[in-house]
């Protein structure tokens, strides 16, 4: 039986709760190891061999090797941890946020400069899925 939560109907959001905490521990602890400069180097030198040090599931391993940022969240990744893989690649939080929302970097940056993704239409899963198009805030919201 899967427990339901009152935040499950927020679209495009992966709350790092008990269930994800249980699934994602090894994946996130791999990410944590990248806080050490020598580990960052070892990972970049041979990613597959470095990942052998951690007990990741095959799917977790795939998401890391393919830099599937959304996939990492689905298999228990926590954004504050998975971002450390991105830092290793020289990416920023905004780069990864753009990739997760499925739009080009420039489009995402423009959305942020225009006031960010609007909450209107983005509160519930049964409304339209988050898009840049439905995300330009109206004058009233500003």
Partner 1 sequence: MTAHIVAGIACSHVPAIGVAMDRGQTGTTYWEPLFKGYQPAREWLAKLAPDVAIVVYNDHANAFSLEIIPTFLIGVAEQFPIADEGFGPRPVPAVQGHSRLAWHLAQSLILDEFDMTIANEMPVDHGLTVPLSVTCGQPSAWPFKVVPLCVNVVQYPPPTGARCYKLGQAIRRAVEKFPEDLRVVIYGTGGMSHQLQGERAGLINRKFDTDFLDNLTKDPVALTKLSHTEYMREAGSEGVEMVMWHVMRGALDDDVAEVYRHYHVPASNTAVALMILENRSAS
**CA angle, 26 as apex, 24 and 27 as ends, to 5°?**
65
Measured from the CB of residue 114, what is the shortest distance to partner 1 in angstroms?
9
Nearer to partner 1, 32 or 42 (CB): 32
Nearer to partner 1, 33 or 59 (CB): 33
Nearer to partner 1, 43 or 61 (CB): 43
Q: CA 67, CA 2: separation in Å to the nearest integer? A: 28
Minimum gap (Å) between residue 62 Cβ and partner 1: 19
96: left (phi over 0), alpha (psi -120 to 50) or beta: alpha
Name the residue nearer to partner 1 (CB basis): 106 or 142. Answer: 142
Q: Following DSSP, what letter does each residue of 36-96 receive, concatenated?
A: SHHHHHHHHH-HHHHHTTS---HHHHHHHHTT-HHHHHHTT--HHHHHHHHHHTT--HHHH
In the complex, least distance from residue 55 CB atom to partner 1, rounded to whole angstroms: 14
How far apart are CB 105 and partner 1 at their closest, in Å?
12
First to last CA, the chain: 43
- Residues contributing to the site for partner 1 (CB under 8 A): 5-7, 10-18, 21, 25, 28-29, 31-32, 34-37, 40, 70, 73, 78-81, 83-84, 87-88, 92-94, 97-98, 100-102, 108, 111-113, 115-119, 122-123, 129-130, 135, 137, 141-142
The CA-based angle 58-13-81, given to 5 degrees, is 55
> Residue 113 Cβ, how far from partner 1 at the closest point, in Å?
7
């Amino acid at each position: 039986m899967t427990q339901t939560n009152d935040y499950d109907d927020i679209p495009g959001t992966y709350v790092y709760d008990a269930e994800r905490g249980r699934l994602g521990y090894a994946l996130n602890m791999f990410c944590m190891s990248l806080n050490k400069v020598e580990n960052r180097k070892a990972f970049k030198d041979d990613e597959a061999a470095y990942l052998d040090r951690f007990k990741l599931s095959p799917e977790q391993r795939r998401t890391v090797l393919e830099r599937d940022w959304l996939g990492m969240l689905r298999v228990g990744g926590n954004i504050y941890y998975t971002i450390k893989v991105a830092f290793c690649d020289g990416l920023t939080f905004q780069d990864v946020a753009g990739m997760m929302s499925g739009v080009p970097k420039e489009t995402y940056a423009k959305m942020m400069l225009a006031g960010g993704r609007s909450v209107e239409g983005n509160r519930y899963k049964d409304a339209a899925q988050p898009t840049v198009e439905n995300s330009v805030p109206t004058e009233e919201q500003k």
